[in-house]
Amino acid sequence: MKIVVGASSFSRTVPGCEVILNPYGRKMTEDEIIAQLEGADGLLAGLEPLNSRVFSACPGLKAIARVGAGMDNVDLEAAKRRGIKVSGTPDAPTYAVAEMTMAALLTIARRIIPANADMHGGVWQKQAGMSLEGAAVLLIGYGRIGKRFAQLLEPFGARLMICDPAYAQIRTDLKAMLAQADVISLHASGKDVILGPEQFPLLKNSVIILNSARGGLVDEDALCRFLDENGGAYYWADVFCEEPYAGPLTQKANAVLTPHIATYTALCREQMEAQAVSNLLRDLGVRELG
C-alpha cells in the first residue's frame, strides 16, 4: 500500500506502508500533488488543492486524512462521488491556535514589537499599550478554537462579545458589535468575506484584528486602506489566501504576520499527525501496529 504525504512538515512514518513525503517543503500545486499521488492509496493531506481534477487523475486514491481541521482545500462532494473517504483532526489544533492568538494579542496590545525594535536601535522610549481588562473583544465564530480563546481571555477581565449564527442563543448583530470592539478575533469557517469595504468604516481607529482562521475572511485591499488611514490599528494574520505570502501587508508597519505556524508546537503536531495516521489507516482498512 502506498501513502503520500501532502503536509509539508509531516514527520511521522506509517507502519507497513510505503510513504512518499512532500519533497517541496511547501503547499503543493495541483500538478505537483497529481504527480505525487500516482499509484497512491491514501493521502495525509496538508493544504494542497484536492478537487475533481486531482481525483480524476488519481483513480486509485481511497482515503484522505487532513492533518488539521479545515476542509476548504478539499472538494468534499467530488470526493464523495469518487468514493474517497475524508477525515480531519479538528480537536488537536484547538489549544495551540488559541494560545497563538492570545500571544499575538498580548504582543500587539502591549507594543512589544516596536519596543523591542527601539531597544535594538539604541532608543529608550516608553509606549503606552492597551490593557485587556475591560476591553471589548469580539469573537466571530465560536467553535472549538473560539471557545478556547474565550477561556484564555477570562482571567484578563475582557468583555466578550460573540457572533456566530450557528448558535441561536448567541446575539448576531455584527454591525453593532463591530463598532464597539477594541479587539476582533476571527474564528469562522467558510469562504465569505466578513470584514470588507462596508465593515471597515464601522471599526475603531485603534482596533486590533486577529486572524487565525482563513485569509479570505478579510478583504485585503480594504484592510490595507484601513491600516494606512489608521496608524493605531493593528492586524495579525497567520493565514493567507495565497501561501507563501508576499503581498502588500508585508509593507505595513501595523500588520504583524506569521507564516501559518499557529499549530506549530511539538505537542500539537504530534497529536495532529498521530490522529491523521490513525484516521487514514482506519479508512484504508489497515490495522495499526503497536
214 is catalytic: yes
- In sequence order, the 6+-apart residues with CB closer than 8 A to the CB of 206 are 130, 182, 230, 232, 233
- Cα–Cα distance, 97 to 242 (Å, whole number): 20
**Sheet arrangement for strand 234-237:** 159-163, 136-140, 183-186, 208-211, 234-237, 255-257
Single out the catalytic residue among 66, 260, 269, 273: 260
- Cα–Cα distance, 171 to 98 (Å, whole number): 22
Closest CA to 12 of 238, 287, 266: 266
- Look at strands 183-186 and 136-140 and give their pairing: parallel
Single out the catalytic residue among 66, 187, 214, 269: 214
Closest CA to 57 of 80, 81, 30, 77: 30
260 is catalytic: yes
C-alpha distances out from residue 197 to 4, 185, 275, Å: 41, 18, 40
Q: What is the 3-state secondary structure (H, E, C) of 3-27?
A: EEECCCCCCCCCCCCEEECCCCCCC
Q: Which residue has the cell 488539521?
A: 68
Closest CA to 143 of 193, 176, 185: 185
Query: Which residues are annotated as catalytic?
Result: 214, 243, 260
